[in-house]
Amino acid sequence: MLQLNFQLLPETLFISINLIDRYLSEQQVPIDKLQLLGVTSMFIAAKFQEIYPPVLSDFVTCANGIYKDKELLAMEFKVLTVVKFDVNCTPSQTFLENYSRAIRVNVPRVLIYASYLLDLSLLKAEFLSIETSHLTLCALSIAIRRE
């Protein structure tokens, strides 16, 4: 929802989810702090990916003021420490753009459908073990066959 509210790139969402997954694989988070982790991960991803990222106060507002600036900044430090400040990951959207160019897929419906499949993959834990490049190739293949 934050991605849509701030009109962020799809890549920002995928980087954010990547940060959440990597953090949760190393640290346990109380259920009442999961929203803080999500908002913080989107904050980090937006600063990394966007040309004009939303500011800290925008993220605090989106969390309905549940968390203060200091809490978000403290969680940002924790997340970055756990992921060893390695925010760089290649989101599936980047692979999709490159693969579609390489095989000359110019049909918008195919790219939209492949992108939709990749969005759906974020909802299933089973897809976490699959390399992003492979998952993207599968989504593009399915979309092409459907066309």
Do 74 and 9 fall into the same domain? yes
Three-state helix/strand/coil letters over 83-130 = CCCCCCCCCHHHHHHHHHHHCCCCCHHHHHHHHHHHHHHCCCHHHHHC
Do 72 and 109 fall into the same domain? no
Cα dihedral 135, 137, 141, 144, rounded to 10, equals: 120
- Does the residue 75 lie in any domain? yes
Do 78 and 100 fall into the same domain? no
Structural domain boundaries, residue 70: 2-82
- Does the residue 87 lie in any domain? no
Per-residue burial over 50-67, b = 16 or more CB atoms within 10 Å of its CB, e = otherwise:
eeebbeeeebbebbeeeb
Q: What is the pLDDT along the chain (147 residues), one digit of tens a residue?
A: 666 678 899 889 899 999 999 999 999 999 999 999 999 999 999 999 999 999 999 999 888 889 999 999 999 999 999 999 999 888 888 999 999 999 999 889 999 999 999 999 988 888 888 999 999 999 999 999 987
Do 78 and 14 fall into the same domain? yes
Do 66 and 100 fall into the same domain? no
| Contact call for residues 42 and 4 (beta carbons, < 8 A) | no
Say how far apart CA 40 and CA 60 lie, in whole Å: 9
End-of-domain residue from the set 82, 116, 135: 82
Taking each helix axis as running N to C, give the angle between helix 10-26 and helix 92-102, from 0 to 180 degrees, rounded to the nearest 10: 130
Per DSSP, the three-state class of 69 is helix
Total number of domains in the chain: 2
Do 10 and 76 fall into the same domain? yes
Instruction: Report the predicted TM-score, pTM, of the whole model to 2 decimal places.
Output: 0.82
- Does the residue 71 lie in any domain? yes
User: Domain with 78 in it: what CATH number?
Assistant: 1.10.472.10
Say how far apart CA 84 and CA 96 lie, in whole Å: 27
Identity of residue 49: Q
Do 14 and 55 fall into the same domain? yes
